[in-house]
Amino acid sequence: MTGAPVTLMWVKGSGGDLGTLTEDGLAVLRLDRLRALAGVYPGVEREDEMVAAFDHCLYGKGGAAPSIDTAMHGLVDAAHVDHLHPDAGIALACAADGEKLTAECFGDSVVWVPWRRPGFRLGLDIAAVKEAHPRAIGCVLGGHGITAWGDTSEECERRSLHIVRTAEAFLAERGGPEPFGPVVEGFGPLPEAERRERAAALAPYVRGLASQDAPQVGHFTDAEPVLDFLARAEHPRLAALGTSCPDHFLRTKVRPLVLDLPADAPLDRAVARLRELHTAYREEYAAYYARHATEDSPAMRGADPAIVLVPGVGMFSFGRDKQTARVAGEFYVNAIHVMRGAEAVSSYAPIEESEKFRIEYWELEEAKLRRMPRPKPLATRVALVTGAGSGIGRAIAHRLVAEGACVVVADLDAASAETVAAELGGPDRAVAVAMDVTSEEAIGAGLRAALFAFGGVDLVVNNAGISVSKPLLDTTARDWDVQHTIMARGSFLVAREAARVMIAQGLGGDIVYIVSKNAVFAGPNNIAYSATKADQAHQVRLLAAELGEHGIRVNGVNPDGVVRGSGIFAGGWGAQRAATYGIAEEELGAFYAGRTLLKREVLPEHVADAVFALTGGDLAHTTGLHVPVDAGVAAAFLR
């Protein structure tokens, strides 16, 4: 505005992720104003006030909200400052004699800074370190991570990498063998097939436990570092110490829940023990909160674990969405590497529990949570949609993801399923499975894919179908069997296996059948298709009556005349129905619309709207209902 030059700083905004960072995720501040705040800093007792002061340093619209680490980047007298959490750097930072080890590793090129909660005072401390040690290229922050600086971005990056690689080499050269101790008999990894089978069997129970306070999405890994850690003698002691780096424990919680049984313990014993441990975990977490909370502390957010460790099997991690659950698991793997490095050269000594509480229940963290957008109606829900590679199923999958659900796209055509999953945003939102609904093995594999990808299943849409239009005398036994096997038998099998998971979770659920107007309408040349649709319609009523005690709602949608985008109509059904009515196939959509009361064509998206209406929360007390989506066909009115 004035034409005078102004030095600006771009820094990652609060709650941002470097892996997905865009320009909108950066905060932009005037450096002169930020550094002038040092003259009015009121002291550590009023530390939190400084974050509000950052707002008065913003340039223009300011971009994202400045993070708590803004002072660390802005007060250091360098054009570029990197703050990182590499495993090797945190291992030194969390070693019992980390200051001594840092000096041995780096000499005077990297300086030790004792633990201090992130904030303005830490920024002043690091600025003072750089000024007092002109040869230093960075520092190790006790209990936290590393910071490096440079005159250019390239120099800063080189120095950051030098610190990381030097620390890695130091740990490798100085570290003792087997820092986690010997392998404990019975706690080693199960063979892969057996391990995956046990993980799938445990997953719904574990997710149910982790969702007592609020529904959670899950993630599973049986990566080698996890299995090795859990196989060894020191894992109970180290796991109880919890993670140290603030970025880690904000996502993993103060400590994990660890199953204390050998890998081959009977499933029912493992489930019973997990429930006992979960009760104890909740009690211990409530006691942790009570030990450290003050009258100004935010309310306790929830006492369920975010990380559940099962020796011989792997790790389940949980969060408000798939990305959060996945990152929590990734951070715990990082924590395992940190523990290994610290134990190899010293002993693992994370920051005090009281300091962890101060960060976990920091008002600034609470403010970050308040800035998050309101969850969508289907957030935390995991859906499986059969026949989702095209037509109605594809539209349903798109609508469910748009409303916040994670979706398993199941289709006989694996390539179509993969295409739709990619359209939906990839593995943090949707995964593809090849599923033949006539095969119990394929259905089981599809449900296991949902368990491994998202932790469980809450919502199933039985949409897979096929149709052959023939008069009675031309309908073969094979025509009858094929349609009943895919639709009546297939939807029964999918519903049965999904119900097993839902009951084990104890979180309720939804099963929706995509039926048809033909379930109640007697049309010509359609005996096999209409009969199997009537079968599906009654399955809705039967299952609603049986599964209600488990909080599982079963409803149906009765579409008609969904021509555009339909795989069934494109596969020959359209031509057959057009011939039945004596019209051209391309006129079929308009023909169906013309015979309705509303004179409107029904599209796949309209069916998807009905599925959302049934599952989005507004009809939570409705089960056994069939919703017509046919633009009004009087002969198909339910009576």
Q: What are phi and psi of 319, to 5 degrees?
A: -165, 180
8 A C-beta contact, residue 491 and residue 462? yes
pLDDT mean over 308-328? 97
* C-alpha span between 109 and 103 (Å, rounded): 9
- 41, 281, 513, 529: which is the annotated catalytic residue? 529
**Are residues 168 and 206 part of one domain?**
no
537 and 472 assigned to the same domain: yes
Domain co-membership, 64 together with 207? no
Amino acid at 377: P
**Partners of 431 in beta bridges:** 408
Which residues are within 8 A (CB) of 260 and not within 5 positions of it... i.e. 6 or more apart? 236, 273, 277
User: Which phi and psi angles does 621 have, rounded to 5°?
Assistant: -105, 20
What was the pLDDT predicted at 197? 97
Of residues 281 and 19, more confidence is placed in: 281
pLDDT tens readout for residues 412-438: 999 999 999 999 999 999 999 999 999
Other Cβ atoms within 10 Å of 506 Cβ, number? 16
- The whole-number pLDDT of residue 282 equals 98
pLDDT at 471 over 80: yes
418/321 same-domain check: no
Residue 80 has pLDDT above 90, yes or no: yes
**Contact (CB, 8 A) for 146 and 126:** no
Q: What is the pLDDT of residue 575?
A: 79
Q: What is the pTM of this model?
A: 0.93
Task: Compute the half-sphere exposure of residue 359: CA atoms within 13 Å on the CB side of its CA.
Answer: 24
Would you say residue 228 lies in a domain? yes
Is position 438 within any domain? yes
pLDDT at 586 over 80: yes
Answer whether residue 61 is part of any domain.
yes
Radius of gyration of the chain (CA): 29
User: Is pLDDT at 570 greater than 80 in this prediction?
Assistant: no
Do residues 468 and 528 lie in contact, with contact meaning Cβ atoms separated by under 8 Å? yes
Pairing of strands 58-63, 26-30: antiparallel
Domain count of the fold of the chain = 3
Judge if 587 and 440 occupy the same domain.
yes
Query: Residue 323 pLDDT more than 70?
Result: yes
Pick the range with the lowest mean pLDDT from 254-263, 268-277, 318-327, 589-598.
Answer: 589-598
Please identify, among 348, 371, 394, the residue that sits at the C-terminal boundary of a domain.
371
pLDDT at 107 (0 to 100): 96
What's the confidence (pLDDT) of residue 23?
Answer: 84
Q: Is residue 146 a part of any domain in this protein?
A: yes
pLDDT digits (tens, 9 = 90+) for 148-169: 999 999 999 999 999 999 999 9
pLDDT in tens, 241-258: 999 888 888 889 999 999
- pLDDT for 216 equals 98
Q: What is the pLDDT of residue 578?
A: 80
Mean pLDDT, the chain, integer: 94
Interval 560-571 mean pLDDT: 77
pLDDT score of 121 more than 70: yes
pLDDT for res 365: 77
Q: Domain for residue 137, yes or no?
A: yes
Consecutive H or E run containing 414: helix 414-423
Give yes or no: residues 490 and 584 share one domain. yes
Q: What is the CATH number of the domain that holds 579?
A: 3.40.50.720
- Quickly tell me which residue has 């020796």 as its tokens: 311
pLDDT tens sequence across 494-550: 999 999 999 999 999 999 999 999 999 988 888 999 999 999 999 999 999 999 999
The rounded distance, in Å, linking the Cα atoms of 31 and 125 is 18
What is the mean predicted confidence (pLDDT) over 133-157? 96
**Residue 1 banded pLDDT, cuts 50, 70, 90:** low
Query: At residue 581, does pLDDT exceed 70?
Result: yes
Same domain, 366 and 236: yes
What is the distance in angstroms between the CA of the first residue and the CA of the last residue of the chain? Answer: 72
Cβ 486 vs Cβ 438: under 8 Å: yes
Specify whether 154 is located in the same domain as 53: yes
Domain membership flag for residue 524: yes
**In this structure, are residues 407 and 383 in contact, taking their beta carbons and an 8 Å threshold?**
yes
Dihedral angle over CA of 295, 300, 303, 309, nearest 10: -90
Strand partners, 460: 384, 511
Q: How far apart are CA 165 and CA 137, in angstroms?
A: 14
Same domain, 58 and 129: yes
Domain shared by 359 and 481, yes or no? no
Q: Is 288 a catalytic residue?
A: no
Indicate the residue among 371, 395, 415 that finishes a domain: 371
Which residues partner with 183 through β-bridges? 232
**Structural domain range at position 386:** 382-636
Percent with pLDDT over 90 in the chain: 81
- pLDDT over threshold 80, residue 567: no
Domain assignment present for residue 3? The answer is: no
CATH of the domain at 232: 3.40.225
Q: What is the domain-level CATH number for residue 47?
A: 3.40.225.10
Does residue 2 sit within a domain? Answer: no
Q: How far apart are CA 229 and CA 200, in angstroms?
A: 21
pLDDT band for position 573 (cuts 50, 70, 90): low
Residue 89 in this model has a pLDDT that exceeds 70:
yes
- Which residue among 323, 338, 371 closes a domain? 371
Over pLDDT 70: what percentage of the chain?
Answer: 98
- Residues 359 and 387 occupy one common structural domain: no
What does the block give as tokens for 138?
């960075």
- Note whether 131 and 164 are same-domain residues: yes
Mean pLDDT value across residues 315-328: 96
How do residues 168-209 score in pLDDT, each as one tens digit? 999 999 998 899 999 999 999 999 999 999 999 999 999 999
